[in-house]
Amino acid sequence: MQKFSTLKSIPAYLPIVNIDTDMIIPKQFLKTIKRTGLGKNLFFEMRYDDKGKEINEFVLNKTPFNKSKILIAGKNFGCGSSREHAPWALLDFGITCVISSSFADIFHNNCFKNGILPIILNDDKIKELSEYANRKEEIFVDLNEEKVIYGNNEVRFKVDPFKKKCLLEGLDDIALSLNKSKKIESFEKDLKSQKPWIFND
Amino acid sequence: MPNTLYDKIWNDHLVDQQADGTALLFVDRHLVHEVTSPQAFEGLRNSNRKVRHPKLTLAVADHNVPTTDRSKGISDKESKIQVDTLEANCKEFGVKLFGMGDKRQGIVHIIGPEQGFTQPGTVIVCGDSHTATHGAFGSLAFGIGTSEVEHVLATQTLVQKKAKNFRINVEGKLPLGVTSKDVILQIIGKIGTAGGTGCVIEYAGDLIRSLSVEQRMTICNMTIEGGARAGLIAPDEKIFKYLEGKPMSPKGKNWENALGYWRNLKSDDGAKFDKEVNLKAEEILPMITWGTSPQDVITIDGKIPNPQNEKNEDKKNSLERALNYMGLKPNMAAKDIKIDKVFIGSCTNGRIEDLREAAKILKDKKIASHVHAMVVPGSGLVKEQAEQEGLDKIFVNSGFEWREPGCSMCLAMNADKLKPEERCASTSNRNFEGRQGRGGRTHLVSPGMAAAAAISGSLDDVRKYQN
């Protein structure tokens, strides 16, 4: 997995609440058997018209936001379907940090598996940061210090320590879990004797 | 210390717990479908890893499959690749698959219970957010992403943090014509789509206990629409009776032992819940959604909300956006909303009892001439059962199309979709923008309400058609 430590970018601001994963990447693009190549279809229905032409007013179609690495959005971002195609599409577009006042659980988890940092801040801070998007000024994200620096200000955020470590070091959590094979084996042994029906033996 | 049902299942599946609370949880049952699994199998292959427990894994293609004649296979090239890829992966890794020609094929959350793969007290996962459906059996069931699918395939475990306990009590009896779909829509309207974020919801109260197994599945299914990953209900004799004799249910001595364990699966008296909400069943009415979020609910007697009455600027903007997308005017009566299509099916309402409920309303009636309506049974076995009961004839005689099983127009990944600005009364679970097709407009309703809308040609009150 791609590591995440610091990031500097002009943020793009999408002031919509409850952005669901259907909106982030509609179903017609879920037919892929790859993880890559979804960036061009990110926010497809807001981004292109019926004829496939870019809608100029949509934020990610505008310069400099078409190069933004940070997305600021309304609360409950990533709700709905569990599709990991949503973070894959963000990543492929170049967005590796999403800032919102809340995230849906599955999307939040999926971000950390793909080197994307979701940051939760309160609505007032979101409003302040969105001004940087409006003025096309850069903000700076530091995962290690758990803070966002903007102008002469900074705001702290919280990340789960284990997820932070995985993101900073780009760790493969399957390998980490397989390091606990002995514990898994011993659990399975107990399970077989206590609840044999689970294995249908 | 008294524990909740969620606490008990959690504790029973702990393989390891780190000092920071990060836990490794054993997964008893893993359901796999074609859309969220190809990249996971690919990951296994690239790392030279195997599926740790193929016998605890069950696969089916449901999202992409056509619901019309299947004799010629899948015409959409990409859909075909995805379904073929699932087949090849299952063969390579030794995972059991119900193929498209198998009568046990169907929506992943319908076939799990049908086969007895779903069992009380287990941890069940699937790369699909509606996995919460299986919580109706008193299991901890939740949706995961594809990276997590790969993790479960490789290790039969999942890295998790404990969620909060949230209990929703529904007491009393439902009025005539009101169903478990209306109950869950009412709940989502009350708590909001982020109301359950970070929580596992236990549904309790005498109304919940009085519901059939399938009605309970409808409630647990839509838990994700309230933001919670899992919803569950303490299992009881109805559940045990439902599971007895199912192909993958425990047999003989195992059955007796399992029953002994299952009967203890309930929250202890005095167990602590972080959050609690109470509803009175008598006050629940037939519901519809008017907007583009499952929390946008009103009763069928209600009116479309007016953004001018909303003081919060964000909420006002989002109301206006929803009304604009849905092509509706403020203060319009729900019953004046004319529809073009009706869809009965999905993992929310595609089971036999749902079809019976709709057929009861449609018997000896015709649907409105401008309405195109279809029924997509949740599985081949549901379809077979419905045909044995003659329900297919009732649907066809009334003007509905009778289709092959799959997810179909719930998410419109196959050929079944709305055209721009087409309006649909749907028994599915999501009314998001574009969910049933670009520009399509979805109103979520119960199967009986969908049948009533088909007859009237507009959203209508199912109570009008009760005998």
pLDDT for B467: 62
The residue-averaged pLDDT of B51-80 equals 94
Mean pLDDT, rounded, of chain A: 96
The CATH number assigned to the domain with range A6-169 reads 3.20.19.10
pLDDT of residue B85 exceeding 90, the answer is yes
pLDDT of residue A133 exceeding 90, the answer is yes
Q: Is B140 on the interface with A (CB under 8 A)?
A: no
The answer to whether the CB of A96 falls within 8 A of the CB of A116 is yes
The answer to whether the CB of B79 falls within 8 A of the CB of B64 is yes
The answer to whether the CB of B355 falls within 8 A of the CB of B385 is no
Distance CA B295, CA B310 (A): 16
Q: Is B24 on the interface with A (CB under 8 A)?
A: yes
pLDDT higher for B70 or B96? B96
Q: With cut-offs at 50, 70 and 90, classify the pLDDT of residue B72.
A: confident
Question: Are A74 and B255 an interchain contact pair (Cβ–Cβ within 8 Å)?
Answer: no
Which residue from A28, A82, A200 is facing B145, i.e. has the nearest CB? A82
pLDDT (tens digit, 9 = 90+) per residue, B112-151? 999 999 999 999 999 999 999 999 999 999 999 999 999 9
The residue-averaged pLDDT of B268-294 equals 98
The answer to whether the CB of A87 falls within 8 A of the CB of A111 is yes
- ipTM comes to 0.96
User: Is the full-model pTM beyond 0.90?
Assistant: yes
pLDDT for B5: 98
pLDDT (tens digit, 9 = 90+) per residue, B16-47? 999 999 999 999 999 999 999 999 999 999 99
Residues 6+ apart with CB under 8 A from B273: B4, B165, B166, B167, B202
pLDDT for A201: 60
pLDDT (tens digit, 9 = 90+) per residue, A45-104? 999 999 999 999 999 999 999 999 999 999 999 999 999 999 999 999 999 999 999 999
pLDDT for B314: 82
Q: Is A41 on the interface with B (CB under 8 A)?
A: no
Q: With cut-offs at 50, 70 and 90, classify the pLDDT of residue A172.
A: confident
The SS3 assignment for B118 reads coil
Map out the domains of chain A as residue ranges: 6-169, 171-201
pLDDT for A65: 98
Question: Are A22 and B432 an interchain contact pair (Cβ–Cβ within 8 Å)?
Answer: yes
Q: Is A120 on the interface with B (CB under 8 A)?
A: no
Rounded percentage of chain B residues whose pLDDT exceeds 90: 97
Q: Compute CA B263 distance to the chain's CA centroid, rounded to the nearest angstrom.
A: 25
pLDDT of residue A161 exceeding 70, the answer is yes
pLDDT for B150: 98
The residue-averaged pLDDT of B226-244 equals 97
Return the residue in B13, B15, B76, B324 with the most chain A beta carbons within 10 A, the one to mutate for interface testing: B15
| C-alpha distances in Å from residue B337, one per residue of B225, B328, B332, B450 | 24, 8, 8, 13
Distance CA B239, CA A160 (A): 38
Q: With cut-offs at 50, 70 and 90, classify the pLDDT of residue B315.
A: confident
A 130-189 residues inside an 8 A Cβ radius of B: 160-162, 173-174, 177-178, 180, 183-184, 187-188
pLDDT (tens digit, 9 = 90+) per residue, B394-421? 999 999 999 999 999 999 998 899 999 9
Q: Distance (Å) from the C-alpha of residue B67 to the closest C-alpha of chain A?
A: 17
Give the closest residue to B374 by CA, choosing from B405, B419, B333, B329: B405
Q: With cut-offs at 50, 70 and 90, classify the pLDDT of residue A113.
A: very high
- Written as six digits, the tokens of B221 are 């299914």
Task: Identify the closest residue of chain A to B78 by CA–CA distance.
Answer: A31
Rounded percentage of chain A residues whose pLDDT exceeds 70: 100
The 3-state secondary structure of A123-186 reads HHHHHHHHHHHHCCCCEEEECCCCEEEECCEEEECCCCHHHHHHHHHCCCHHHHHHCCHHHHHH
The answer to whether the CB of B339 falls within 8 A of the CB of B372 is no
Rounded percentage of chain B residues whose pLDDT exceeds 70: 100
Which residue from B15, B248, B257 is facing A180, i.e. has the nearest CB? B15
The answer to whether the CB of B132 falls within 8 A of the CB of B142 is yes
CB-based burial, A135-152: b 16+ in 10 Å, e otherwise: eeebbebebeeeebbbee
A49: buried, middle or exposed (CB in 10 Å: 19+, 13-18, 0-12)? exposed
pLDDT for B96: 97
A103 vs B contacts (CB less than 8 Å): 197
Residues listed for chain B: 467
